[in-house]
Structure 1
């Protein structure tokens, strides 16, 4: 555990971009939350707005926690060799955003020029935050969560499947799932914390510090709440039973990457205890049956074709090794 945490601290440090040419002029665009901080005060300090800070950082609430990190706009003095593209890469921004923020009509910048560099805004709709894999990596390590998490649950949506995804309706699909969960299942909001899509995007829905709702043990509320208390639920859009949707390479990479990042965030190692499939649980009693599902009410979820299948053997042979490799690659 100590080795894992040490590597994690190194990783978090590496997430702060540093370029050799900026060694004497490298302002930090990460702000560490201190006791008493508010979004309004931070926004005033960095000459921005609360709404902009929330969209830059994918914040679902105005509440801040000590130890949390926020991306903030910075002022930067141009040095020899700088380009807008390099500055955008170094400070999680974009060339168009830098140009718009500074009223630039061309990409030409000069030594000594002072530029305001705003970090990229994330795509948000209400509490839903839609991200690329790289954006999610930055997001997850800058957040501070209080709930203890010991396992992540892998699900497939079954319905909606690939045919309902048109490449741009991420938020509409999330809202549709939430409507079903609230109106149909009588849950408080969308059940899952994370949703992956065929194009490789990943969305945050239910806040991480709230346990998932209704993911296992539907007819046994006591067992369900016990199972979900220390879980993160992931819904992977698609029907991954063999012979149905063929998982895209982009979604496959996102599922592996998200699992690896969650393992690192919570100090876990891939196993049947830390990465669990819906198929391994009796949906009535909440009993974990693993591969002994005969005579039990079980679902095929996350699919009979999910990374080779939905048994523990399939997970150990085809999914966990990929997650371990990704964890090593990230570190």
Structure 2
């Protein structure tokens, strides 16, 4: 009886092991390449008949460096099956209908079974080091990347200036470049201070590479293990009223960062600039004198800038969004 039980259990285990790879392949697009030890961009570009520049634009790469287990979107040749549409194919391979039509010289959306199409992933909006994304594109970018720095703190800031008045709806890159120039020329920093910027329209930009600690007046203790989010706007009471689009993006990307780096929302993992003494660079939470702390990220940032405001108004939103995102992943 014992031998029969062991045999049945072994058969079930074998069946389960055979099912797993099929399930994994079904959920992972075949044009998402996983970087292996020793891989280089020139080799990957040659392997998939593309260019280094296209690989960088498709994947939002700020340098030629790669990390093991990093995922890269690459071109693929696809044979059309009966009933498939351009929209289906574009969705499957992280592409767009227009790019597929352009790459294959198609003048209409009609396809036929057996047709061979070259499908290239869609390119990201980049200028220099700055990558402009929707919050959903940021999710893909974040989860596809690997980082070599210990990140345990997410910093929330507001720009104060520029504020909503300077945002014209299409000048994202101009604002980023202006902030980079100011930080380098006026503040004497090596690069733009922040890793991430959010905009009133809900767009999000990555500028300073995640593998480089942020700079700024919050001090090296918070920066060395931190990521800085600058939220465009003056969110002190009586000034800019944050748009719903920006609110949603701030909550969403903060939740994504918590998932990526294994953080639970708390005063130790998500910090406000207001909680740090400008002189000593020590965390003082709500006990800093007004002349030694900034109001940043604003006295009306998700209900206020105190620790109680964060616990009551901000952290619950982030925690709820974490659960929502994890439910879609599982």
- TM-score normalized by the length of structure 1: 0.89
Instruction: Determine the C-alpha separation between the residues in 2 that align with 1:205 and 1:45.
Output: 29
Q: Which residue of 2 aligns with 1:255?
A: 250
Within the candidate set 229, 232, 235, 1:234 is matched to: 229
Does residue 327 (structure 1) correspond to residue 322 (structure 2)? The answer is yes
5 Å-filtered alignment, 1:147-162, equals 147-162=149-164
Q: Which residue of 1 aligns with 2:84?
A: 82
- 1:187-238, Cα deviation, whole Å (9 max, x unpaired): 000000000001111101111011101241xxxxxxx222211000010000
Does residue 42 (structure 1) correspond to residue 23 (structure 2)? The answer is no
Deviation at 1:104, TM superposition (A): 0.5
Query: Are the equivalent residues in 2 in contact too, given 1:39–1:62 (CA < 8 A)?
Result: yes
Moved more, 289-298 or 107-116: 289-298
SS of the residue corresponding to residue 269 of structure 1 reads coil
Q: Which residue of 2 aligns with 1:170?
A: 172
Q: Which residue of 2 aligns with 1:276?
A: 271
Does residue 298 (structure 1) correspond to residue 293 (structure 2)? The answer is yes
SS of the residue corresponding to residue 299 of structure 1 reads coil
Instruction: Determine the C-alpha separation between the residues in 1 that align with 2:255 and 2:25.
Output: 21
Q: Rate the CA distance shift 1:159–1:63 in 2: closer, same or farther, 3 A.
A: same
Instruction: Determine the C-alpha separation between the residues in 1 that align with 2:45 and 2:192.
Output: 30
Deviation at 1:27, TM superposition (A): 6.1
Query: Are the equivalent residues in 1 in contact too, given 2:155–2:226 (CA < 8 A)?
Result: yes
Q: Which residue of 2 aligns with 1:94?
A: 96
Q: Rate the CA distance shift 1:207–1:215 in 2: closer, same or farther, 3 A.
A: farther
Q: Which residue of 1 aligns with 2:53?
A: 51
Deviation at 1:262, TM superposition (A): 0.4
Q: Which residue of 1 aligns with 2:8?
A: none
Higher Cα Rg, which structure:
2
Q: Which has the higher contact order (CA 8 A, sep 6+)?
A: 1
Instruction: Determine the C-alpha separation between the residues in 2 that align with 1:287 and 1:40.
Output: 45
Gaps of 5+ in 1: 1-12, 20-25, 217-223
Instruction: Determine the C-alpha separation between the residues in 2 that align with 1:33 and 1:276.
Output: 33
Query: Are the equivalent residues in 2 in contact too, given 1:240–1:247 (CA < 8 A)?
Result: yes
Deviation at 1:316, TM superposition (A): 0.6
Query: Are the equivalent residues in 2 in contact too, given 1:27–1:74 (CA < 8 A)?
Result: no
Deviation at 1:164, TM superposition (A): 0.4
Instruction: Determine the C-alpha separation between the residues in 2 that align with 1:119 and 1:215.
Output: 40
Q: Rate the CA distance shift 1:159–1:102 in 2: closer, same or farther, 3 A.
A: same
Q: Which residue of 1 aligns with 2:192?
A: 190
What is the RMSD of the two structures over their aligned residues, measured on CA atoms? Answer: 1.6
- TM-score normalized by the length of structure 2: 0.89
Instruction: Determine the C-alpha separation between the residues in 1 that align with 2:257 and 2:56.
Output: 22
Query: Are the equivalent residues in 1 in contact too, given 2:150–2:225 (CA < 8 A)?
Result: yes
Deviation at 1:17, TM superposition (A): 9.5
Q: Rate the CA distance shift 1:69–1:215 in 2: closer, same or farther, 3 A.
A: farther
Q: Which residue of 2 aligns with 1:3?
A: none
Gaps of 5+ in 2: 1-20
Q: Which residue of 2 aligns with 1:244?
A: 239
Instruction: Determine the C-alpha separation between the residues in 1 that align with 2:151 and 2:113.
Output: 48
**Higher helix residue share:** 2
- 1:108-165, Cα deviation, whole Å (9 max, x unpaired): 0111111111111000000110100111000000111010001110000000000101
Q: Rate the CA distance shift 1:255–1:108 in 2: closer, same or farther, 3 A.
A: same
Instruction: Determine the C-alpha separation between the residues in 2 that align with 1:295 and 1:159.
Output: 19
